[in-house]
């Protein structure tokens, strides 16, 4: 329904009364800097604050994205709301009398305003009713449960407004409708009563339950959670979705926790109401509860308004159910974690306990220590993958590797991904440091498989002359490179007379084997060669192969990738007969790969260098990658012959 036009006097009065620091502080953590306030801009992602709020000018401005305006515009832009809707909300908040442009429109406007106001009123009255019922004889069971089972003190019970819904079917209904004369339609819209299916009338939604008020960020009651005191199911019953309450956009106890989150620069999310209440009772006042649903982006962004470092800790049980709850709660925020937009940590308490149970037998300091040492979400995920797996068993090793690769592929930030590739490689190496480079290469290959023979040209930034440099085509596909390296190794193993020539070519061109299993085999060959004191003609083929096979007994997974090189069939024999040409072709193919790597390396350095800040370095990188490009073009003309020899 369209909101009537507001009188200019109302708009001006709202502008005068709505202090911009007060309004913005609801959404952004502001810190005093001189006469102004600064914080992280809510309109774009940033790590250092560029968002400034001036109390004297009653204006905000972001030096990063150039967003700016007054308090009304801030709420409009942040919530994507209309001008009139925002002015009305601010008018209610700052108790500004509302006038419309035409007197006859006032009645309709007041009716629209009245609905939300009446919902707030009826929910606040209901909360008082439940709190009063807790102190009556019928509420003694609920009060005893809070004091004995939950070990809550009186101040905590009052702080969270805990109460009791009597067992009768119409107790609340009669109190609100008959005694307080509140409209029955408002009670139904507030989710407090439901119409009977037969016979007419209404009945209370919450009966014989311990009542927990759910509040918005401003501390207004918007819904309830009710815990059964019997065996009735469900154990916890929440209010339905209403005009004021959306489960996916609300966090329990955020009104109590927002100050602590801002002060500690960290938010703790637990699963249950009483976990959050117990943490606050223990002085850990940066805790909220997720209302039992997967965390939505709206909920996460709501929390992150109050933490500058965007640090979020999920604290669920350490047992299977708790692990599943953590994975479920992560929900949509996994993408934010992969991108590094939130520092997501996972805290599993020992012995399968939740926060409430843990604090019954441990001190707040014990909990704080666990909180401090909580692992990052990616570390936790990796531990879940390798848990109860025997990496010495081929099947477990393969399954774990596949899951780790899937995890690593999702990490957007290259530095973070490289760190976790190395970390996973250490795990897969089972303490053998010699295997770490091999594992790294294997993981990287699976995360970003080699591209096809030619890639589409990608324009780089302008060169000194003002033109554009296009990236050179990829030199070869993985199958051709693997065939070339395998042939070279097979020739080395079975043709001792070619060993000196192969080593000389590799040393002269400063070449290495690109594929990890080939590089690993070559390292083993050189180690045996060095121990024999001869790097060219040691050992007959059978002796060398036998010693390598002995060496590989402890590296079962690598043996499967190179064992075929120890044998020569009819096809291999024909290839070996052409050894001089095949060696040259294989060397040329490997040379092309190394040139391509150097070319891309210098091109990336050049693209990342500011020509104005570092002109000499900028020109040096340009000359280096251009020289490699010329070499690539020259060797690419010989490529056709090389491929023919290899096929």
Most confident segment among 44-48, 305-309, 480-484: 44-48
Structure tokens at 507: 């040393």
* Range 108-244 classified under CATH 3.90.980.10: yes
- Residues 458-471 have pLDDT tens digits of 333 333 333 333 33
The average pLDDT across 599-623 equals: 82
- CATH 1.10.10.60 at 249-374, yes or no: no
pTM: 0.62
- CB contact set of 421 (below 8 Å; sequence gap of 6+): 408, 440, 443, 444, 447
Q: By C-alpha distance, which of 202, 194, 268, 274 is closest to 236? A: 274
Range with lowest mean pLDDT among 259-273, 282-296, 380-394, 527-541: 527-541
Whether the per-residue pLDDT at 541 is higher than 70: the answer is: yes
CATH fold group of domain 8-101: DNA Primase; Chain A (3.90.580)
Per mean pLDDT, which range of 228-237, 388-397, 635-644 is the poorest? 635-644
Name beta bridge partners: 37: 32, 53
Residue closest to 353 by CA, chosen among 377, 329, 321: 321
Residues 476 and 484: their CA atoms lie apart, in Å, by 11
pLDDT at 204 over 80: yes
Strand order in the sheet with 59-62: 31-33, 36-39, 51-54, 59-62, 68-69
SS3 assignment, position 40? coil
Question: pLDDT tens digits, residue range 186-196?
Answer: 999 999 999 99
Q: Quick check: 488 pLDDT over 70?
A: yes
Question: Which has the higher per-residue pLDDT, 214 or 620?
Answer: 214
Per residue in 71-129, pLDDT (tens digit) is 999 998 887 778 888 888 898 888 888 777 666 666 666 666 678 888 999 999 999 99
Q: For residue 318, report the phi and psi dihedrals to the nearest 5 degrees.
A: -85, -10
Cis peptide leading into residue 234 (ω within 30°): yes
């Amino acid at each position: 329904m369209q909101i009537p036009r507001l009188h200019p006097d109302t708009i001006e009065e709202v502008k005068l009364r709505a202090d911009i620091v007060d309004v913005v502080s609801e959404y952004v953590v502001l810190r005093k800097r001189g006469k102004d306030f600064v914080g992280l801009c809510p309109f774009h992602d940033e790590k250092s604050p560029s968002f400034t709020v001036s109390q004297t000018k009653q204006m905000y401005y972001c030096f990063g994205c150039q967003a700016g305006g007054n308090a009304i515009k801030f709420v409009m832009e942040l919530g994507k709301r209309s001008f009139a809707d925002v002015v009305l909300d601010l008018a209610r908040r700052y108790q500004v009398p509302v006038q419309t442009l035409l007197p006859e429109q006032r009645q309709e406007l007041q009716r629209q305003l009245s609905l939300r106001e009446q919902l707030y009123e009826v929910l606040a009255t209901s909360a008082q009713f439940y709190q009063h019922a807790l102190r009556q004889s019928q509420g003694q069971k609920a009060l005893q449960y809070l004091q004995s089972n939950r070990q809550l003190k009186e101040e905590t019970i009052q702080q969270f407004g805990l109460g009791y819904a009597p067992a009768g079917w119409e107790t609340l209904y009669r109190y609100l409708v008959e005694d307080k004369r509140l409209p029955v339609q408002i009670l139904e819209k507030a989710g407090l009563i439901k119409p009977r299916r037969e016979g007419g009338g209404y009945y209370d939604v919450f009966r014989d339950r311990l009542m927990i008020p759910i509040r918005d960020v401003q501390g207004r009651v918007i819904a309830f959670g009710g815990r059964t005191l019997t065996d009735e199911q469900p154990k916890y019953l929440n209010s339905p979705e209403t005009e004021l309450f959306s489960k996916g956009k609300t966090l329990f106890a955020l009104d109590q926790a927002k100050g602590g989150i801002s002060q500690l620069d960290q938010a703790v999310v637990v699963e249950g109401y009483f976990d959050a209440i117990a943490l606050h009772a223990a002085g850990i006042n940066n805790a909220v509860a997720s209302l039992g649903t997967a965390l939505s982006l709206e909920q996460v962004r709501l929390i992150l308004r109050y933490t500058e470092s965007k640090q979020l800790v999920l604290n669920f049980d350490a047992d299977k159910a708790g692990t599943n709850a953590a994975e479920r709660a992560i929900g949509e925020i996994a993408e934010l974690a992969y991108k590094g937009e939130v520092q997501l940590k996972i805290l599993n308490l020992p012995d399968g306990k939740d926060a409430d149970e843990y604090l019954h037998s441990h001190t707040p300091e014990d909990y704080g220590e666990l909180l401090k040492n909580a692992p990052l979400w990616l570390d936790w995920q990796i531990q879940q993958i390798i848990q109860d797996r025997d990496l010495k068993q081929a099947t477990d090793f393969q399954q774990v590797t596949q899951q780790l690769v899937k995890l690593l592929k999702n990490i957007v930030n290259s530095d973070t991904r490289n760190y976790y590739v190395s970390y996973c490689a250490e795990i897969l190496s089972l303490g053998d440091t010699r295997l770490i480079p091999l594992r790294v290469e294997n993981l990287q290959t699976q995360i970003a498989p080699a591209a096809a023979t030619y890639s589409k040209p990608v324009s780089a930034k302008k060169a000194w002359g003002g033109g554009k440099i296009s990236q050179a085509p990829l030199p070869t596909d993985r199958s051709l490179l693997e065939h070339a390296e395998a042939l070279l190794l097979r020739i080395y193993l079975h043709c001792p007379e070619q060993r000196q020539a192969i080593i000389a070519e590799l040393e002269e061109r400063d070449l290495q084997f690109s594929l990890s299993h080939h590089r690993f085999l070559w390292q083993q060959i050189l180690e045996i060669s060095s121990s024999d004191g001869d790097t060219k003609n040691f050992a007959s083929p059978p002796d060398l192969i036998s010693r390598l096979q002995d060496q590989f007994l402890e590296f079962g997974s690598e043996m499967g990738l190179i064992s075929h090189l120890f044998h020569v069939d009819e096809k291999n024999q024909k290839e070996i007969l052409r050894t001089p040409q095949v060696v040259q072709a294989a060397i040329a193919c490997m040379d092309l790969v190394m040139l391509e790597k150097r070319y891309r390396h210098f091109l990336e350095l050049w693209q990342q260098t500011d020509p104005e800040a570092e002109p000499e370095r900028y020109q040096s990188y340009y000359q280096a990658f251009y020289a490699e490009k010329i070499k690539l073009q020259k060797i690419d003309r010989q490529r056709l012959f090389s491929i023919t020899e290899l096929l």
